[in-house]
Amino acid sequence: MPGVGLHGSLLVAGTTSDAGKSALVAGVCRWLARRGVAVAPFKAQNMSNNSVVTADGGEIGRAQAMQAQACGLEPSVAFNPVLLKPGSDRSSQVVVLGRVDGTVSARSYRDRKAALLDVVTDTLAELRGRYDVVVCEGAGSPAEINLRATDIANMGLAQAADLPVVVVGDIDRGGVLAHLFGTVAVLDRADQARVAGFVVNKFRGDPSLLTPGLDQLLALTGRPTLGVVPWADRLWLDAEDSLAAVADGVLGRPAAPLGEQWLRVAVVRLPRMSNSTDAEALACEPGVAVRYVSEPSRLVDADLVLLPGSKSTVSDLGWLRRTGLADAVAAHARAGRPVLGICGGYQMLGRRITDPHGVEGGSVDGLGLLDLEVDFAPDKHLGRPTGTAWDEPVRGYEIHHGRVVRSTDPPLLGATTGPDAGSDAGPVVGTHWHGLLENDGFRRALLRRAADLAGRSGFVAAPDTDFAAERSAQLDLLGDLVERHLDTAALDHLIAHGPPPGLPTVHTHLAAPC
């Protein structure tokens, strides 16, 4: 059925984090965009250290950038007006409309939410004026009733913006029927009236065995299940939870090598790792096994070691030393085997990190594998640069407080001048650019160099891996899953008309009749 003429909005909430909200929103967006609907994503508040730089010069969660691509749009700060970037277990940097706006604790953030609700609702209203449909994503779970009074991302947003709500649950975790029932049951009557249905995600097996449970869920709540989305092991790119798609430490679904040998990549799993998606392009390559590692023995048989970005570079560098990984990385480099550092990982490879403004709480010596020095500046640098590296055209994005103030290493980025051109010191390479590995030509050159340095003469780099096409194919798959497995007519009606009147209240001590 054509989608032209459809107007409205929808909020996708989840029973838990990583229940499938981001993927379902992307799938609904792709399904609508393919029908000719002008659609945009929206997440009022995201908590993630996986972020991107937008065309309008701000910073948003990477999941919203992925959802924007599903819509055929460039990322915009309007798609994620509030981003929280955890720097520790107790504090987060606040990014409002793409720009840093202080640091908060969990308690102090509650005092800011009233003002941020206005920012969120105004931004959503503006989007609804520009697009036919806006598909919103909740945060965490709406059943976090201890946070309901100041909520701006789940039922608080639904009430303020008059949104219908669908709740998605992950059956692979177990207990999904209880999760779905309980999510509704703990809400007050007004919030329950906005929850119009459920989606079950990641189902494996015989659907007929689930049907009696869904029938009982309908009888208990008065709300239908709008679809059961099957498990799809091809879906792993751009996970909101940086390790959500990792099974047994392996990232992605590695294809068999073209040659006689595999190339083994170890990505150090830093406690405050940021932009972990930088490693995903490597995991799309045939014969490349990418694993997250958190202790030294896992580096023994690695060919290439990747130090990723970090939201807390100084703290994570201390963790590297306490765990013995710092010594293991240094030994790997001294043996002439390749090491790649990206952003915070790049800074760790240098001789010294100074912090005159107290951005991360102190100065520290680096690993000394690159001859560079880094200063932390109070203002965050955001950019979407282009250049060349190893004679290949490249583009990326930058998100960092650290500035390289001295470097004697050969530059990595040949078309970039100044100390932030990256470092190419033989086996040890570093860059501030996220997304560099998404450039197909550069990535192939890196793999060939890594194989040569590691003595993997039997490894053959694929000549035709197209990372952009891989990402687009996953978005198409998400759209296909929505089209094939959800009640799309019911979704259309819900988007256009909101929750049906007269939905029953699930009676508990929190939602008892007057």
Question: The CATH number of the domain where 202 resides is what?
Answer: 3.40.50.300
Do residues 459 and 492 share a domain? Answer: no
Domain assignment present for residue 383? The answer is yes
CATH classification of the domain holding 436 = 3.40.50.880
pLDDT-above-90 percentage for the chain? 79
How far apart are the two ends of the chain, measured CA to CA in Å?
A: 43
Do residues 179 and 270 share a domain? Answer: no
Do residues 26 and 71 share a domain? Answer: yes
Question: Would you state the pLDDT for residue 113?
Answer: 86
The residue-averaged pLDDT of 4-13 equals 92
- Higher-pLDDT residue of 101, 76: 76
Question: Would you state the pLDDT for residue 238?
Answer: 58
Domain assignment present for residue 507? The answer is no
Q: Listing from the earlier edge strand, what are the strands of the sheet with 423-425?
A: 288-293, 263-268, 304-307, 339-342, 428-431, 423-425
pLDDT at residue 170 greater than cutoff 50 = yes
pLDDT at residue 247 greater than cutoff 50 = no
Domain assignment present for residue 472? The answer is no
Alpha carbons 178 and 171: distance in angstroms, whole number? 10
Domain assignment present for residue 349? The answer is yes
pLDDT at residue 442 greater than cutoff 70 = yes
Tell me if residue 428 falls in helix, strand or coil: strand
Do residues 343 and 415 share a domain? Answer: yes
Domain assignment present for residue 257? The answer is no
The residue with tokens 């119009």 is 196
Question: Would you state the pLDDT for residue 233?
Answer: 75
Domain assignment present for residue 245? The answer is no
- State pLDDT tens for residues 53-73: 998 889 999 999 999 999 999
Domain assignment present for residue 110? The answer is yes
Do residues 278 and 426 share a domain? Answer: yes
pLDDT at residue 250 greater than cutoff 50 = yes
Do residues 162 and 195 share a domain? Answer: yes
Do residues 214 and 289 share a domain? Answer: no
pLDDT at residue 408 greater than cutoff 50 = yes
pLDDT at residue 466 greater than cutoff 80 = yes
The residue-averaged pLDDT of 423-447 equals 96
Domain assignment present for residue 255? The answer is no
Question: Would you state the pLDDT for residue 62?
Answer: 92
Residue 111: pLDDT band with limits 50, 70, 90? confident
Q: What is the DSSP letter of 139?
A: -
Phi-psi region of 94 (alpha: psi -120 to 50; beta: other; left: phi over 0): beta
Question: Would you state the pLDDT for residue 2?
Answer: 54
Q: Are the beta carbons of 136 and 168 closer than 8 angstroms?
A: no
How is 461-483 classified by DSSP, letter by letter? Answer: --S---HHHHHHHHHHHHHHHHH
Question: Would you state the pLDDT for residue 242?
Answer: 46
Q: Are the beta carbons of 160 and 121 closer than 8 angstroms?
A: yes
The residues annotated as belonging to the active site are 343, 434
Can you give the pTM of this predicted structure? 0.91
Question: Would you state the pLDDT for residue 418?
Answer: 60
Do residues 136 and 214 share a domain? Answer: yes
Other beta carbons within 10 angstroms of residue 35's beta carbon come to 17
pLDDT at residue 83 greater than cutoff 60 = yes
Question: Would you state the pLDDT for residue 245?
Answer: 40
- Look at 136-150, 243-257, 298-312 and tell me which has the smallest mean pLDDT: 243-257
- State pLDDT tens for residues 330-351: 999 999 999 999 999 999 999 9
Phi-psi region of 140 (alpha: psi -120 to 50; beta: other; left: phi over 0): left
Question: Would you state the pLDDT for residue 325?
Answer: 97
Tell me if residue 37 falls in helix, strand or coil: coil
Q: Are the beta carbons of 313 and 344 closer than 8 angstroms?
A: yes
Q: What domain range includes position 52? A: 9-224+487-497
Instruction: Calculate the alpha carbon distances from 286 to 90, 262, 309, 508 in Å.
Output: 40, 9, 24, 53
Tell me if residue 121 falls in helix, strand or coil: helix
Q: What are phi and psi of 413, to 5 degrees?
A: -100, 100
The residue-averaged pLDDT of 169-187 equals 94
pLDDT at residue 420 greater than cutoff 90 = no
Helices (H), 186-273: 189-192, 207-221
Question: Would you state the pLDDT for residue 511?
Answer: 46
- Copy the structure tokens of residue 350: 């240098």
Q: Are the beta carbons of 42 and 137 closer than 8 angstroms?
A: yes
Do residues 310 and 434 share a domain? Answer: yes
- Beta strand spans in 327-371 (E): 339-342, 352-354, 364-365
Q: What is the DSSP letter of 149?
A: G
Do residues 151 and 295 share a domain? Answer: no
Q: How many domains does the chain have?
A: 2
pLDDT at residue 243 greater than cutoff 60 = no
pLDDT-above-70 percentage for the chain? 94
Do residues 384 and 456 share a domain? Answer: yes
Do residues 433 and 491 share a domain? Answer: no
